[in-house]
Structure 1
Amino acid sequence: MILVTGATGRIGREVLRRLPADQAVRVLARNPDRVTGAPGTAEIVQGDYGDSQSLTRALRGVRAAFLVTSRVGDDDVRFVRAAVSAGVRHVVKLSAAAVADPGANDVITRWQRANEDLVRGSGMEWTLLRPRAFMSNALAWAESVRAQHVVRAQYGSSPNACVDPRDVADVAVRALTEAGHAGRTYTLTGPEPITAAQQTAQLAELLGRPLRFEELGADQARAALGARYPHDLVEALLAGAERQRAGAKARMDEAVPALLGRPAACFRVWARDHLGSFSSP
């Protein structure tokens, strides 16, 4: 039995779609009605990391688990404790590429470093996935692209080797279903670094209409992010943007092509496949 968490998010949803049809799958979801793409035989369990009884139910009989957490706090601690008690043998943990950057010391990165240490020290087999930023982050521009034909972002000329979430999911499925991934850490990037201005140009070409890129200053970005996130997360995201401007996120890794036997997907492919989100109704 494989347990998938984060099944309503961008990676977990794609993992569910890619697991073999004959694989026993269980899904832990806070809102089961939002789970899509699960195999017809999948068992969906309602629960939350803060509900120890739901974790016990979800982890019963599980061999391997895909662990995704998004709230800075103790969710990983609760899950790992329950997984060890349930006899889970292997945890595939979604982390972040910034963990390996000595210049990254924001609250999100410190939290992920602690989570990695927790998993490594759990006594279970583990695999750590460290993706660079997801190409799907561009969906944050969809509304302004549709309504105003504009993309607004910080530091439009700073590159990021962002990765297609579907490539991350493909790697996760291999780690969950194949031997040979225990004790491994994989940094997952796209095939090339790309800037927000270049992404805007590619979107415009695919849409067949001009788009304008507007660079946000630090205060504008802080205000925009502050409308969506708490203060500590806002500051973490701004710190990440500064590291990107310094070139810290441009480095590529060969893990995706090495593991999947094909090139990592480029932004143009991701954008083409999601063009409907940017198209006017």
Structure 2
Amino acid sequence: MILITGATGTVGREVVRGIPDGLAVRIMARRPGRVTGAGAAETVRGDFTDPASLAGALRGVRAVFLVTLPGGGDDAGFLRAARSAGVRHVVKLSAAAAGDSGASDLITRWQRRNEELLRASGMEWTLLRPRAFMSNTLSWAGLIRERGVVRALYGRSVNACVDPRDVAGVAVRALTGGGHAGRTYTLTGPEALSAAGQTEQLGELLGRPLLFEELGPVRARAALGARYPAEIVEALLESAERGRAGAKAEAGDTVARLLGRPATTFWQWAGDHLDAFAGQ
């Protein structure tokens, strides 16, 4: 039995879709009614803060896809429950910044703490450290549809962003195949792109020019503050400064090596999701 957490999220839902037919899959969610596209998978209620629900969700499970509890909590309780249930292997979604000694923002510290807990858990582990998801650009869709405009911080900073489907593909390989225990995989796209470059590609695909407007730190802080708590806003701004200095530019070959095909380009990802940007 494979247990998948975070199945309503960007990567988790793709992991569910990618598990080969014939393997037993269970989805753990705080609100099972929100899970879609589960197919033949069993869906159960489970809450990181409720030990009884964890015990039930983990019963009979041998491998777990773990997405860290949102909001800065740690995975200690979940990992204890998993080990008690006899789980052998945990594949954790982390972040590329966790491997960057120059990164010290709050979100990165949370991820490092949970990586340490997993490594010390006594179970086999695999760490997935993706760069920013290409799907983050979906937050631009409304303004693109309404005004043909993209607004982002530091438009010329480049990031080797990755298709979440590629991250999920690696997760499925780690969950269902051998040779991944004790491995840490930094996952990137095939090239580093800036927000301005992504905007240009979207405009070409849409067949109409898009205007890019760069937000300075003051405007970016105000925009982010409408969506996130203050401590998260500061962490995101700190991360953006690292990107501005080139810390997120390196594109590796790990996705291609593990999946046996080239990593998805932003052009390909955007083409597959063009309806979101071109809606009526």
Q: TM-score, normalised by structure 1?
A: 0.98
Contact kept in structure 2, 1:21 and 1:39, CA below 8 Å: no
CA distance in structure 2 between the partners assigned to 1:69 and 1:150 by the alignment: 33
Whole-angstrom distance in 2 between the partners of 1:36 and 1:72: 23
Q: One-letter code of the match for 1:90?
A: H
- Please give the root-mean-square deviation of Cα atoms over the aligned residues, in Å: 0.9
Residue 161 of structure 1 is matched in structure 2 by: 160
Q: Report deviation, 1:39.
A: 2.7
Q: Distance in 2 between matches of 1:56 and 1:169?
A: 25
Return structure 1 stretches of 4+ with deviation > 2 angstroms. Answer: 72-75
Q: Which residue of 2 aligns with 1:271?
A: 270
Could you give the per-residue CA deviations for residues 241-270 of structure 1, whole angstroms, max 9, x where no partner exists? 100000000011211011011110000000
- Say if 1:68 and 1:93, in contact at 8 Å, map to a contact too: yes
Letter in 2 for 1:13: R
CA distance in 1, matches of 2:69, 2:51: 18
Structure 2 residue runs of 5 or longer lacking an equivalent are none
1:70 to partner: Cα distance: 4.6
SS at match of 1:222: helix
Task: Indicate the residue corresponding to 2:17 in structure 1.
Answer: 17
Partner of 1:30: 30
SS in 2 for 1:27: strand
2:56 aligned residue: 57
Distance in 2, Cα, partners of 1:135 & 1:165: 7
> Scaled by the length of structure 2, what TM-score is found?
0.98
Q: How does 1:1-281 map to 2 (within 5 A)?
A: 1-40=1-40, 42-281=41-280
Q: Mind listing any 5+ residue stretches in structure 1 that lack a counterpart?
A: none
8 Å Cα contact 2:74-2:113 kept in structure 1:
no
* Cα deviation 1:3-35 (Å, max 9, x = unaligned): 000000010000000101100000001121221
Q: Shift of the alpha carbon at 1:78?
A: 1.6
CA deviation digits over 1:33-57, x for unaligned, max 9? 22122232x1100121111111111
SS of aligned partner of 2:72: coil
Return the offset for 1:103. Answer: 1.2
Shift of 1:87: 1.0
Equivalent position amino acid for 2:92 in 1: K
Q: Aligned to 2:247, what secondary structure does the other structure show?
A: coil
Verify the 8 A CA contact 1:116 1:128 in the aligned structure 2: yes
* Stretch of structure 1 that moved more, 209-218 or 30-39: 30-39
Local SS of the residue matching 1:192: coil
1:62 Cα deviation (Å)?
Answer: 0.2
Structure 1 residue 75, shift from structure 2 partner? 4.2
Give the number of aligned pairs.
Answer: 280
One-letter code aligned to 2:49: G
- Per-residue deviation, residues 139-188 of structure 1 (Å, max 9, x unmatched): 11011111111000011111000000000000000000001100000000
Q: Secondary structure, in 3 states, of the residue corresponding to 1:278? A: helix
